[in-house]
Chains A and B, each alone.
Chain A
Amino acid sequence: MGMLEGKVAFVTGAARGQGRSHAIRLAQEGADIIAVDLCSQIGTVPYPMATPEDLQQTVKEVEALDRRIVATQADVRDTAALTAAVDEGVAQLGRLDVVAANAGIASYAAIEDISDEMWDDMIATNLSGVFKTVRAAVPHLKANDGGGSIVLTSSTAGIMGMAHLSHYVAAKHGVVGLMKVFAIELAPHMIRVNSVHPTTVNTDMVQNQGTYDLFRPDLAPGTATRDDAGDAFLTLNLLPIKWVEPVDISNAVVFLASDMARYVTGVQLPVDAGSVVK
């Protein structure tokens, strides 16, 4: 018996990486899934983003667990598209209990090299996108007698500063502000709201040459390998590991979404191998 039997979860950025892992872990616990992903590129993002095939793969993996999934290509920056996707998902699956606002992008530059476009894309996706996701979901959550659970994906960059990430750090700190307000406003409805703060996660967002170069400025651009970057990632964490796996974030999301955490709200939960207390 899963911890989320009969529940429906809405996951953004579900085509791959952590989003796909959340969809699968939540489905393993019995939930049906409403999945959205942009499935195309954003101009200022220096690594390939997810594709429609990636989203199809998520659908396959959830269906292989005998759970239902309603998957749509939608942009978290686009209120109308998000609302349509959630409404359609609820129409087909009957209800909404859990929201995982996970979609996000990364890019890197020194302060003076962050273009207006980089800044605007970042804030629009990683901050406004989270707000729009929750805004589209809240009416469905309020319709439940038993309340619900919202998990916002922030980052260790939502707790501490990190060089060359002004826009990302600002957006991820902003997510914490949203979490605190949502927690207060939605508590009377027994809707809980928390944020998760991953350290480096083993996904395509970091496993790419641009990120390797950023973390190994001592090596010639384009030459740093996965292992070279791993050595640098290791120094961020207290525990002797380079990165965590997507499933480690999903396990925290499952905990927060389930009755195991029925009285946990307004909490920032780092899953960060001790990075913020180092």
Chain B
Amino acid sequence: MGKLEGKVAFITGAARGQGRSHAVRLAQEGADIIAVDLCSQIDTVPYPMATAEDLQQTVKEVEALDRRIVASEADVRSLPALQQAVRDGVAQLGRLDIVLANAGIAPMGAEEDPSVSWQDVIDVNLTGVWNTVRATETVLVEQGQGGAIVLTSSTAGLKGIGGDSGGGQGYTAAKHGVVGLMRSFANTLAPHRIRVNTIHPTGVNTPMVVNEFMQTWLAEDPTIAGAMTNLLPVEMIEAVDISNAIVFLVSDDGRYVTGVTLPVDAGFTAK
């Protein structure tokens, strides 16, 4: 018997990486999934973003677990697109219990115009998270049975890492901003028994960091690479480690946990 039988989870950025892992782990615990992803490129992002085939792969893996999934292409920068995806998903799956604001980009390093990189990362990583909660909170409130929201921040949401590019500074600012959103939503949604927490991963083995561009960027600037080492002797952690923390937070195991910044970072922020 899974920890999330009968629940429905809405996940952004679900085509690959951590988002796909969350969809699969939550489905293993019995949840049905509403999945969205942009499935196309943003110009300032120096590594390939997810594709429509990636999102199809997530669908396959969730269905292989005998869970239902409603997947669509939607941009977290568009509130109406998210609202539409949530409406369709809830219409088909019957309810909503869990929200994971996971979609994100990392446009660090080489950039033509720092202002554009800054704006893109703020739009996706901060405004996109705000939109994700706004598109779902009324559904949770009207349903009247509580709920759990997890916002994916980063160690860069707790520390001043990310380098000195516009995209890097925007990333750090957006991820810190996500903590502010979490704390205010935790307050406003608590009367409805809706819990809101953030997770703060250190480097995770996903295409966001395991790509040619990012590895070159890290290799070229030893100060950044040096600042990126973990306290535990592990170089990178796996997407499932973030998913496991999320399972704790959104299940009854974490039924009274709200307003918490939870690092899953091999001690990165405790150094």
Contact = CB atoms under 8 A, between A and B. Distances in A.
A183 to B, nearest CB: 5
Contact of A184 (B190, B252, B265, B270): B270
B70 interface: no
Nearest to B202: A263
A265 B267 contact: yes
Contacts of B257: 252, 269-272
B237 A263 contact: yes
Given A190-B233, A255-B248, A277-B183, A266 B269 contact: yes
B152 to A, nearest CB: 15
Interface in B79-118: none
Contact of A265 (B254, B262, B266): B266
B254 A251 contact: yes
B141 interface: no
Interface in B215-239: 230-234, 237
Nearest to B182: A277
B231 A266 contact: yes
Contacts of B231: 183-184, 187, 265-266
Contacts of A255: 248, 253
Given A183-B267, A264-B264, A274 B258 contact: yes
Interface in B235-261: 237, 241, 244-245, 247-248, 252-260
B121 to A, nearest CB: 25
* Residue of B202, B244, B248, B267 ringed by the most chain A CB atoms within 10 A: B267
Nearest to A239: B190
B256 A267 contact: no
Interface in A20-58: none
A255 to B, nearest CB: 5
A273 B256 contact: yes
A158 to B, nearest CB: 14
Interface size class of A (residues with CB under 8 A): 35 or more
Contacts of B264: 261, 263-264
Given A263-B264, A276-B259, A188 B187 contact: no
Contacts of B232: 187, 190, 192, 263, 265
Contact of A260 (B247, B256, B265, B270): B247
B186 interface: yes
Interface in B183-198: 183, 186-187, 190-191, 193, 195
Interface size class of B (residues with CB under 8 A): 35 or more
A147 B234 CA distance: 13
Interface string A241-278: 10010001001101100001111111101111110111
B267 A277 contact: no
Nearest to A259: B244
B7 to A, nearest CB: 17
Given A183-B270, A266-B231, A248 B183 contact: no
A238 interface: yes
A260 B259 contact: no
Contacts of B253: 251-252, 254-255
A217 interface: no
B259 A274 contact: yes
B236 to A, nearest CB: 10
B233 A274 contact: no
A222 interface: no
A18 B186 CA distance: 26
A2 to B, nearest CB: 14
Interface of B: 183, 186-187, 190-191, 193, 195, 202, 230-234, 237, 241, 244-245, 247-248, 252-260, 262-267, 269-271
Interface of A: 180, 183-184, 187-188, 190, 192, 199, 238-241, 244, 248, 251-252, 254-255, 260-267, 269-274, 276-278
Q: Which 7 A-B pairs have the closest CB atoms?
A: A266-B270, A277-B259, A238-B190, A251-B253, A260-B244, A274-B259, A274-B258
